[in-house]
Structure 1
Amino acid sequence: MSEQLAAPAVSEAPFNAVYLAIGAAAWTVAALKFRAWRRDPSPGLLVVALAIASPASSFLMASPVLYRAIDRLAHTGNLATLLVYLGITGFSAAAVVLALIWTPPGDRDGDRIWDVSSSGTRRRIRARLTLFAVLAVLMAVLFAAGRAGAPETPLTFDTTFATVPAIACFLVLYQGAFAFALIDIARVCRGHAARLPAGWLRGGIRLIALGSATACLYVLCKIVAIGAAAAGIGGAEWLSTAAGPAFAAVGALLITAGFAGPAGANWARRRRDYRALRPLWDLVYRADRRLALEAPPARWTERLALRDLEWRTTRRGLEIRDGQLTLRPWVDPAVVAGSARIAERAGLDDPERAALVVAAALRSAVAALDAGRPPRPREEQAVLPGLDADPAEERAHLVRVSRGLDGPLIAEALAAAGPA
């Protein structure tokens, strides 16, 4: 968020390491957000991706090694400072737009998180984007007018050129826009987090709010240091070269973690569900191999599955449902009734009771099919619970069934029913 961390005498190596690491980590998260946006092209996902990519690029360019490389390529000293600050201004614009379109949980229409439907919201978005576009042009004009090409100062630009009026105006505009965006997004995140239940999403939103508040301390340090340098007061340079960038780095890490945390948790949950469904999928696949588009993957291949997990898990669930319907004529009604009694005696709640009944029923159906028993006529077929579950609950139900296939209550239910 700034290129200054230390006086020129200090080695630039640590700052290269920190800024490059933060930039690379943030760009990894941004790339995942862009990938999600390509699959679900909602305006909110695009703005989130841009809100992460813009400061990520700034951190990369702020590293002294890339800072000097940019200046050499452009044959213009300190040009990287303008690019770094324009990148942060891009984050400011994206953050302000996010604050406008991020719908509070209690006001959402279904699952819609981003609301750009109203003409008033679109008008405010256009007004703010126009304001930031004008600001970016003005910053570029002021930077050029300041003629701050030498000396090259990847770590001390702000305090070195604070006495140049055009550069001072450039710095104040940048810091003001950044502070406005940070306060706005922190306010919105705190309000949304207060309405959410405990979980990864609330934790992530709180991290964004905390990171924004931490980055505000960067702005405060910079403004004090720039003001002192402009007034000819010495001794405050450390606020610009050490304290401010430290707050910026911590804030950036918190904001990036806030955006990445809920997405990472969802990815881990999808992967966990995909693997948890394997025993149930194997059971129905044994009954009818035509149900699956392809043969079962090797166990080690499944452990390495990292991509397309939502599609894989959804397909596996659909194939299990088809298998359940195929096996229904061989389900033993005695097993269904017996497992229901066992579940009640064990004090299971409704979801666990339904899972136990379905697991025992499918186990009995596969055994009957393997034994060559004839299918039951339609009027004698048992109706299994969970078939009418809504999509949000269906996957959780199937995971419970899969995990309970080899449980002790299943064995008890099958033993109590005896031969079909």
Structure 2
Amino acid sequence: MWHTILTIINLTICAAMTAAGTAKAVAARRDPDLTLKLTASVLLHAALIFLINTPPVYRTVGDRLHSPNICGLLVYCLTLACVGHAHLMTQLWHAQRRSRPMLGRMVARWAPFYIGTIITLVILYAVSGAGGPSRPLHFTPSFAHLPAVVALQCVYTGAMLIAVSASVLQCRGLTLPQNPDLADAISRCLRWFVIALSLDLANLAGYLTATLRAATGHHDLDVLADGAWVATIASGLAATYGLVRLVLSSRRHERTDHKQLRTLWKTVVTPDLVLAPGLLWGGWDTRIALSRRITEIRDGTRRLAPWLDTAPARTVEKLALHHSKTTTSIGTDGRQLPFDLVAAQAAATLIDAARRRRTDTPPTNELNLTALPGIDVPAIEERAHLVRVAAHLDHPLVVQAQRHDERAAVSI
């Protein structure tokens, strides 16, 4: 009866994780972000763990490979791989630690640990002499009379303790200064990650206790192995919920930014710059829609280069010095955004350039602007910068600067 219930639960979780992992893998094909690829890999690895630890699958794989408990070893190896993925993912969530050199140093430092542990587990399993019968969930307690099996369980437990501890420590001090709202969402996701990793520790305690007790010839604590797998189920659900919640939060921020950029898009983009429609399903992908909008805005601002004037930026700067209390701007979603002088200057410059293009009044050579304020922001910050520019289009200082420059132009 327990194995029937376990089969249903495992296959249900496997299906859910496979669906989520496949969706993220498809998204990763058109997005170079490593975090997205790692998320997909974690979900698919976790789905495989639940699949091969389903009793019928466990026995079938063992029969086909002529090693009845090979899935017990595979579960341990895949779990280590999942934790390794999560370990690297927590590094990527730190903006100051995701540079290629730092990632390279981390991989060089930890890869030998994970690979070496997996190789050790494989060797211990190979020399253990553990044969039949097939024992889903109870491999190490059932064969605890074999020293190599006990050693396998101890090595796995020690490696997991190190990996889990390192991953939890990595979760501290998360900061995303360019997107504090997303940082808060990631922090909540990390809390679920910590819960999942803590449940993994409960799994380790259950299996290790049952194995060490069985090594003395007593199997009265073998039931702890079943309880340990219940902890694994809870861990998988917690980790999946955290990742799904993060994905939904990310989509919400993408939709918000897409809406925020609409005003800027209407200001700088002409009909000939609108990209041709993509695949039908692409319209439902907020990331594709946001990328298209940013690309069109980028092309639109480049087309405005002949009309850029230095006057609006200088006027905004002068007004800002006299209105130091004006420190916020309101986004389209009602959020208060900090006043950003560079974004305000860019907004005023683009409004003025769009007006000059419509009226065919280019600036004089002396006042021609060679580069738009904020044009030198790093590529990783471009989206956040454009959102700030869009939010400042109707800022009182920008509106006042436009009126001032229009009056000055009329007087000339």
Q: CA deviation at 1:362?
A: 2.7
Give runs of aligned pairs for residues 53-202 of structure 1, distance below 5 A: 53-64=44-55, 66-67=57-58, 70=61, 74=64, 79=68, 81-92=69-80, 95=83, 108=97, 110=99, 112-116=101-105, 121=108, 125-126=111-112, 129-140=115-126, 142=128, 145-149=130-134, 154=136, 161-162=142-143, 165-166=145-146, 169-170=148-149, 172-197=150-175, 199-201=184-186
Q: Tell me if the contact between 1:182 and 1:212 (Cα under 8 Å) persists in the aligned partners.
A: no
Q: What TM-score comes out, normalization by structure 2 length?
A: 0.71
337 and 101 in structure 1: CA distance in 2 versus 1, 3 angstrom threshold: closer
| Change in 2 beyond 3 A, CA 1:340/1:111 | farther
Q: Any residues of structure 2 matched to 1:353-372 within 5 Å, and which?
A: 353-370=341-358, 372=359
Distance in 2, matches of 1:320 and 1:359, equals 13
How many residue pairs were aligned? 388
The answer (yes or no) to whether the contact 2:62–2:71 under 8 Å persists in 1 is no
Does structure 1 conserve the Cα–Cα contact (< 8 Å) formed by 2:344 and 2:389? Answer: yes
Unpaired runs of 5+ residues, structure 1, are 1-8
- Match for 2:197 among 212, 220, 235? 212
Aligned CA distance change for structure 1 residues 196 and 327 (closer, same or farther; 3 Å):
same
Contact 1:85–1:174 at 8 Å: present in 2 too? Answer: no
TM-aligned CA deviation for residue 18 of structure 1 = 2.8
1:12 matched to 2:4 = yes
Q: Say if 2:275 is the partner of 1:294.
A: yes
Return the offset for 1:103: 6.8
- Match for residue 223 of structure 1 among 190, 202, 208: 208
Q: Which has the higher contact order (CA 8 A, sep 6+)?
A: 1
Contact 1:205 1:258 in 2 (8 A): yes
RMSD: 4.7
Amino acid corresponding to residue 153 of structure 2 in structure 1: Q
- Aligned to 1:244, which of 222, 228, 243? 228
d(CA) in 1 for partners of 2:105 and 2:36?
12
Distance 1:244 1:187 in 2: 19
Aligned CA distance change for structure 1 residues 140 and 94 (closer, same or farther; 3 Å)? farther
Query: Is this contact kept in 2: 1:101–1:114, CA < 8 A?
Result: no
Identify the residue that residue 276 of structure 1 maps to in structure 2: 260
Structure 2: segments with no counterpart, 5+ residues: 176-182, 329-337
Q: Aligned partner of 2:388: which letter?
A: R
Say if 1:132 and 1:399 are closer, same or farther in 2 by CA, change over 3 A: same
Amino acid at match of 2:104: D
Q: How does 1:403-414 map to 2 (within 5 A)?
A: 403-406=391-394, 411=399, 413-414=401-402
Structure 1 position 348 matched with structure 2 position 335: no
Q: Contact 1:200/1:265 (CA < 8 Å) preserved in 2? A: yes
Q: Which moved more, 1:213-222 or 1:306-315?
A: 306-315
1:402 aligns with 2:372: no
SS in 1 for 2:305: helix
The CA deviation at 1:264 is 6.3
